Every structure is written in structure tokens, then in C-alpha cells.
Amino acid sequence: MTSIASCDAVVIGAGHNGLAAAVHLASKGWKVVVVEAASEAGGAVKTRELTEPGFRHDLCAMNLSMFAGSAFFSAYREELVNAGLGFAPAPKCFASVFRDGTYLGVGTDLEQTVAGIASLSSADADAWKAMLKDFGRDAPHIFALLGAPMPSLATVKVVWKAYRAIGLDGLYRLVRLLLATPRDFLDAHFENDKLKAMMAAWGLHLDFSPDVAGGALFPYLESMANQAFGMVIGQGGADSIINAMTGVLKGKGGQILLGSAVASVKLEGERATGAVLADGREIAARRAVIANLNPKLLFGRLVPSAPALGAVEEKASRFRPGPGAMMIHMSMDGLPDWTAGEALKDYAYVHIAPDMRMMSRVYAEAMDGLLPAEPALVVGQPTAVDRSRAPEGKHVLWVQVRVLPAVIRGDALGMIEGSDWDAVKEVYADRVVDIIERYAPGTKARIRKRAVFSPIDLERENPNLVGGDSLSGSHHLDQNFLFRPMAGYSRYKTPVPSLYMCGASTWPGAGTGAGSGFMLAKMLAGV
């Protein structure tokens, strides 16, 4: 074997969590090498001209609000901005369209949001304002919990501080929020079905149908945070954060090796001492090997099997992916003409998930292996916010299809034959476009070209997305908090000394907040 580098830490995987860890360690004087199997950094945060030259599409992640609000960005804001990071604010954040040709949306204009809700229910308009007020009181404690290692002294301090600020009743309220189903939480606060459906749609961004315990938090946080702070996307593309992070890392002396797949983690005795690349080259790491990987890819594949690892290998093999997703990217001659109103063209996201019954049905169908009859759609309109992503007068449409089976056992409508995603993905994408057409007639005629990524395509693109699960692991309660990714390993350590995990598979989970990478790096560096 040929040694190509000797460093303090080698990071396997150049997703944003791995890059965040590398940037912070490099800033503390560590010599860091990041290795990435793909030809470009970013993981699930990439932007490409997928359809035509000049049309820039975010391959997976589009919403960068979590990154903009993250502790990592707060710590490195000036350096990242100087390296080219830019955000495009979306004051009209998200909306849902309904079967009767109406919509309900949320933006930073509170009066406008409340007016829409009041047209459905004056009581709900008052409840929305009350919830927003409570959010201002409770959010610091929730975000502090999400930003603390789990478990840790920092977690205890968060709970104690919350107790001092909001009392025991307040703590009980937050615990109930963390454990509740979306339906139970929303039913307890609102009366109108459209408002509840609009908020519940956020649960399907993770893997929470209306009646899954632990699913209330994301609809609550997204609804209130978008109302309070708005949404941001990347100026020119989501890869704005990746380009800036790689620039900052290189400026600190860090090295990034692209197109360099890792064959194994090197062990000396029981300790991880580096990484062996697929071409036989070796990187020695004096202090840490950091795997920004799904545990299924790490244990049993990259880490040599050993009797002492039997328990963690077995736990990793049972780490459960969430449902799959499909991405459909379209270059457009114009944005959809939504029947519900011209104002919808200004929103970053338009959800087509019109009622709770539909959300429950699509989830059940997908988990049974069926192609859903009516999938939940997140229709992203990035060029409504950032015109630089397409030529003058043109647009891009970003469509995420949730939720889908990784392995097809049938079609809920009995119309699509076949169980091979490569064979059926275009036909299923036609079903998706037909649904959009129902809510925005004429959309088909505006499509110039499209690129379809099935769940299997997404896994091929990024092996961490097992079965096309864009979350890199289900967020149900048995795989969240202390149990993410596995009981006993939520603090990023593994049974192998000097080997650590980070990424969406670890606490605090999916999203663009760079939480696990930054928290791990701070733990390793001691600050």
C-alpha cells in the first residue's frame, strides 16, 4: 500500500456534516483530509444542470433555513460569506393547495397569514397567534436540545434551564410535543381541517404520517419558524454552502480528495488509524477517523468484522431506513398557473397533500410496497425566489415525491406493471405530473425537459440514502434522540477507539443544520 497522507483526522464523506467537522477541526489546528467517493462534494446537497444548460437544479436538498440558523453558520459566518456563501430569502415560504381550488399559505407577513386562516376560522387565527407567541418562549429550549449531544451534561443543562424558565408544566408541554402524533397535536390546537393539513404536510418531509408518534415536532417547528423567520435557499443553488465550506476548509490547510472511494477503515489492534482507499492508497490518521456515513455502510463493510463488534454490527444491520423519495427536475417555460390563485407563484414550496386521509393512505401504501395512487408532492419553485437559476423568462421546478417504496410490490391503482424502478420511474413520474396538472392546468405544456431520479437512483447517487430514503434513516422514536442511530451510540463514538460517526443517521438527524458534524468536532477538539 502507498501512503498518500498523514493527518490528525480523516473524514470519510464530503457531505455538509463531514465538511462542518473538518472545518472546525482545521480551525483548531488539526490537519484534516476529507475523502469522497463521488466526483463532487456535497452529499445530498448538490446543484447541477440536470436538464439544459443554464438551468440549475438542486438535486435533493433545496431549503437551507436550517443551515442559516445553525450554530455552525453562526460560528463561521464571516468566513463562509467571504468564501462566496449567499442566501436568497423567501418571504412567501410554503402553501398547501386543496381539492376545492383554494390554498392556505405561510409567509413572514403575519397579518397576511392570519387573514388566510381567519377566512377559515377566527378561532384558529387566534390560536395561530397564540402558538407563535408560545414559540418565542419555547423555541430557544427546543433548539438548544437539538444542538446538544445526546445524552450529555449539556443536555441536562438545557433541561434545567428550561425548567427554570418555563416551569414543570412547561417541560411537560414540550415532552408531549416531542412524543405526540401530528394529528393529536393539531387537533388539540386547531379546528379547521385545511389548516391542520397544511401543517401536517411537513411531517411527510420526514417519515411521519398523521398518526405516527413523535411526528408533531417538525410540523410545529417548520410552521412557526417560517412564520417568524422566513425561509432561505442558496443563491445560485444549494451548493452555495458546499462551495463555501470547501473553500474555507482549503484555506485552513484541509485537503479534499474527490473520486476516492474508501475500501476499509484501517485498524491497528483495536484502534482506528486511518482509511484504505479502493485503489490501495492509504491515509494515516493520528487522532480520529470520522465516518459521515449511514451505519449500514460503516459496519460490516468498511470496518473489518471482529467478535468484539458483533453487537454493533447486528444493531447497524437493523438500522431502518425511512420510506423512499423520488426527485423530478424540470426546466420550464413558466411557473405553474395554480388554479387556487396567482399568488402561489411567489411561494418557495407548494404542497400537494390536501388532507390527512390522503397522507395516511399514501404512507400505508408505500410501506406496503405499493406505488401510491396519490403521492404527497412538494413542488419547489426556486426561481420564484432566485432568478439566477434559469435563463431570462425561464424557470426550474423541483418536485419531491413522498413517500415511496424502495422495493415495488404493486401499484395501488393497478395500472403500472413491473417491480423495477428503472423500468417504471418515467411512467410514475407521468402520474406525478398529472397530479400537478389537476391543480395547475397547462403545466405539462410548459415543461421543456425533465430529469427523474427514482429511489434507487438516489441511492446510486448517494449510498447513504438507502432505498432512496433522503433522511438516511427513519426518525421514528425508536431511532431518534438517545436511539439515533443505535442505543448506546448516540454520542458519535463507536466501539472502535478513535472511530466516530456523524451525518444524518446520527443525532439530531436529517436536514441541513450541520449539527452532528459540528458537535462531534467540538467534542474532539475540546472547544
Q: Are 217 and 186 in contact (CB under 8 A)?
A: no
Which of 164, 198, 229 delimits the end of a domain? 229
pLDDT in tens, 417-452: 999 999 999 999 999 999 999 999 999 999 999 999
Average pLDDT over residues 379-388: 98
pTM greater than the 0.85 cutoff: yes
Distance CA(164)–CA(419), nearest Å, equals 55
Which of these, 441, 207, 491, 173, lies nearest to 323 by C-alpha position?
207
Helix ranges restricted to H, 345-477: 356-367, 421-439, 443-446, 455-461
Q: How many CB atoms lie within 10 A of CB 425?
A: 18
**Total count of domains within the chain:** 2
Q: Is residue 97 part of a domain?
A: no
Average pLDDT over residues 509-518: 97
Helix ranges restricted to H, 323-420: 356-367
Angle at which helix 122-146 crosses helix 153-179, to 10 degrees, equals 150
Distance CA(527)–CA(521), nearest Å, equals 8
Residue 3 binned pLDDT confidence (cut-offs 50, 70, 90): low
Q: Are 299 and 314 in contact (CB under 8 A)?
A: no
Which of these, 116, 147, 154, 196, lies nearest to 360 by C-alpha position?
196
Q: What is the DSSP letter of 148?
A: S
Q: Is residue 439 part of a domain?
A: no
Q: Are 254 and 23 in contact (CB under 8 A)?
A: yes
Assess whether 41 and 139 both reside in one domain: no
Which of these, 184, 188, 186, 177, lies nearest to 139 by C-alpha position?
177
Which of 229, 248, 282 delimits the end of a domain? 229
Which of these, 29, 7, 25, 28, lies nearest to 17 by C-alpha position?
25
Phi, psi (rounded to 5 degrees) for 324 = -80, 170
The C-alpha angle 348, 352, 358, rounded to 5 degrees, equals 150
Residue indicated by cell numbers 428503472: 422
Assess whether 198 and 270 both reside in one domain: no
Which of these, 433, 237, 437, 468, lies nearest to 330 by C-alpha position?
433
Is the pLDDT at 132 greater than 90, yes or no?
yes
Q: Which contiguous run of DSSP H or E holds residue 174?
A: helix 153-179
3-state secondary structure (DSSP) of residue 266:
strand
Is the pLDDT at 1 greater than 60, yes or no?
no
Domain that holds residue 209: 114-229
Average pLDDT over residues 237-260: 98
Distance CA(108)–CA(106), nearest Å, equals 7
Is the pLDDT at 5 greater than 80, yes or no?
no
Which of these, 98, 200, 101, 218, lies nearest to 508 by C-alpha position?
218
pLDDT in tens, 450-499: 999 999 999 999 999 999 999 999 999 999 999 999 998 999 999 999 99
CATH of the domain at 521: 3.50.50.60
pLDDT in tens, 296-327: 999 979 998 877 787 899 999 999 999 999 99
Q: Is residue 170 part of a domain?
A: yes
What is the rounded end-to-end Cα distance, in angstroms, of the chain?
A: 35
Is the pLDDT at 121 greater than 60, yes or no?
yes
Element counts in the chain: helices (H) and strands (E) = 17, 20
Q: Cα–Cα distances in Å, from 379 out to 164, 225, 352, 437?
A: 42, 20, 8, 12
Distance CA(520)–CA(500), nearest Å, equals 8
Which of these, 70, 17, 14, 6, lies nearest to 492 by C-alpha position?
17
Q: Is residue 389 part of a domain?
A: no
Across the chain, mean pLDDT equals 97
Residue 4 binned pLDDT confidence (cut-offs 50, 70, 90): low
Assess whether 76 and 9 both reside in one domain: yes
What are 10's strand-pairing partners? 33, 289
Q: Is residue 254 part of a domain?
A: yes
Assess whether 245 and 271 both reside in one domain: yes
Assess whether 139 and 211 both reside in one domain: yes
Which of 184, 208, 229 delimits the end of a domain? 229
pLDDT in tens, 320-344: 999 999 999 999 999 999 999 999 9
Q: Is residue 414 part of a domain?
A: no
Burial (CB count within 10 angstroms: exposed 0-12, middle 13-18, buried 19+), residue 409: exposed
Assess whether 140 and 196 both reside in one domain: yes
User: What one-letter code names the amino acid at 261?
Assistant: A
